[in-house]
Homo-oligomer: A and B are copies of this chain.
Amino acid sequence: MTEIDYKSEVQVFFRDLQERICAALEAEDGGAFFEKQEWQREGGGGGRTMVLQDGAVIEKGGVNFSAVEGELPDKIAKALGVQSNHFFASGVSIVLHPHNPWVPIIHMNVRYFETSIDGKVDQQWFGGGIDLTPHYIVPEQARFFHQQLKNSCDAFGAELYPEFKKWADDYFYIQHRKETRGIGGIFFDRLKSTAQFTMLDRFDFVKAVGNTFAGTYTKLMSLNKNKAYTAEEKNWQYIRRGRYVEFNLVYDKGTKFGLDTNGRIESILMSLPKMAAWPYDPQFEADSKEKQTQNLLVKGVDWLQ
């Protein structure tokens, strides 16, 4: 094989992935369509933001594609430990906030990152992850979700799911709350070529992760979208969304990267819910389903049991 131009390949795949996912979500939602917005980034590159608001199931959801490049800010180069000062980054980022508190929030990101010096590739890697934030944890659905991720991973090696599952537990953690964002999923970063995996293997893996998203989430939508819910359950959803906002604005590296590199703000912050709440110090009974969910927001739970 001749050399693969990853900058070109990943853009084509990611754009197509974005379209396929939007189509699947629209079909399951049935109430609204994604609105498309193409944008250019001043420093180089751009993207295509797809946002669906006020659907039948999804209240606010974004499926973003971007491919940006330009000067790598010193601050970020230092944080990444790279010498090069030019970067290219492309990926698909998704966050979906449903109306119904029984439908979980989901997030996915798959991305390719490359740095170069004088036009020559210096570093290149893939990263990504999928994690689920049910407002109320339903064990059999948590099991289904993690099994789907495990299936995607297992095709590339049995060691991947346990490693990336732990990585998600550590990454999607709200340190100041001492709680995980949800039930985790998988997270991975800086997947470079190794003795075991070529860059092409890494790309194939990221494709598999990306391709498992739509079927996994539309299933969870379909299972829960018609459940009745109470005002109390809606209030709890607003609180859980507040925690989601806290994670994204305080800890999320993708958000920070976007804000630090002058990304398109509305695209970066499409991850924030349409409405969130911070009532002061809300309390829940020990045997309430809110407390039961909160008790499960810890690292190291084996959801496949």
Binding site for B on A (CB under 8 A): 37, 51, 53, 60, 62, 175-177, 238, 242, 245-246, 249-250, 259, 265-266, 268-270, 272-281
Contact = CB atoms under 8 A, between A and B. Distances in A.
B245 A249 contact: yes
Nearest to A277: B275
Contacts of A250: 249-250, 259
Closest 9 CB pairs of A and B: A249-B249, A272-B278, A266-B281, A176-B259, A51-B280, A275-B277, A249-B250, A176-B265, A53-B280
16 contacts: A37-B281, A51-B280, A51-B281, A53-B279, A53-B280, A60-B279, A62-B280, A176-B268, A177-B265, A249-B249, A272-B278, A273-B278, A275-B276, A275-B277, A276-B276, A276-B278
Contacts of A265: 176-177
Number of copies: 2
A128 to B, nearest CB: 23
A10 B62 CA distance: 49
A265 B269 CA distance: 24
Given A245-B249, A250-B259, A259-B176, A238 B275 contact: yes
A266 B176 CA distance: 10
Given A176-B259, A249-B245, A249-B250, A280 B270 contact: yes
Interface centre among A273, A275, A281, by most chain B C-beta atoms within 10 angstroms, is: A281
